């Protein structure tokens, strides 16, 4: 297995993994991002994300997609958006290898924190993260506003 930085030609496989994750997370129709979006947003002069891929027998079996954030308390941080391994390839160490690569990247970049979200029902992931020394915070709530919410807010507050 090879862990390497993702390239624009990897984006079809990356999108396939994103869609597989959406099915796993019980949101099969939620993915609207396209291969073109991924290429544009990840490989422009100012990329919005970076990714590592796990490759086995010339097939991408996993990804870790991350981007940089800024914390007013900590400074530069990394947000790990998704860590995905194809279901049939789980258990061979790809997830740990990708996870480790993101953490190594964070150390190399001098970030003060690496953060991500995990669904409260995904006990396997929670156990994995806690076993590695990560803290799963129960006192914070994830807040989001989708496109419809943005439009409704701006319309009612114009």
CB contact at 8 A, 51 and 33: no
129 is catalytic: yes
Question: Could you tell me whether strands 2-5 and 75-85 are parallel, antiparallel, or unpaired per DSSP bridges?
Answer: unpaired
User: pLDDT tens-digit profile of 21-41?
Assistant: 999 999 999 999 999 999 999
Average pLDDT value for the chain: 97
Q: What is the pLDDT of residues 3-26, one digit of tens each?
A: 999 999 999 999 999 999 999 999
Q: Give tens-digit pLDDT for 115-127.
A: 999 999 999 999 9
Query: What is the C-alpha to C-alpha distance for residues 20 and 11, in angstroms, rounded to an integer?
Result: 14
Q: Which of 66, 70, 99, 129 is catalytic?
A: 129
Confidence of residue 94 (pLDDT cuts 50, 70, 90): very high
What pLDDT is attached to residue 106?
Answer: 98
- Under the banding of pLDDT at 50, 70 and 90, the label for residue 51 is very high
pLDDT score at 26: 94
Model pLDDT, residue 22: 96
Q: Can you give the pTM of this predicted structure?
A: 0.94
Cβ neighbour number for residue 120 with a 10 Å cutoff: 9
Burial class (CB in 10 A: 0-12, 13-18, 19+), 93: middle
């Amino acid at each position: 297995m090879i862990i390497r930085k993702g390239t624009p030609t990897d984006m079809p496989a990356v999108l396939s993994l994103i869609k597989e994750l959406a099915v796993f997370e019980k949101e099969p129709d939620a993915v609207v991002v396209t291969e073109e979006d991924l290429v544009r947003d990840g490989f422009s002069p100012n990329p919005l994300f970076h990714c590592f891929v796990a490759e086995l027998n010339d097939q991408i079996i996993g990804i870790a997609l991350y981007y940089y954030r800024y914390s007013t308390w900590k400074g530069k941080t990394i947000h790990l958006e998704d860590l995905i391994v194809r279901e049939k390839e789980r258990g061979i160490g790809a997830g740990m290898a990708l996870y480790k690569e993101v953490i190594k990247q964070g150390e190399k970049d001098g970030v003060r924190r690496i953060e991500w979200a995990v669904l409260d029902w995904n006990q396997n992931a929670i156990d994995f993260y806690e076993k590695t020394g990560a803290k799963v915070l129960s006192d914070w709530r994830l807040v989001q506003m989708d496109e419809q919410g943005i439009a409704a807010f701006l319309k009612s507050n114009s």
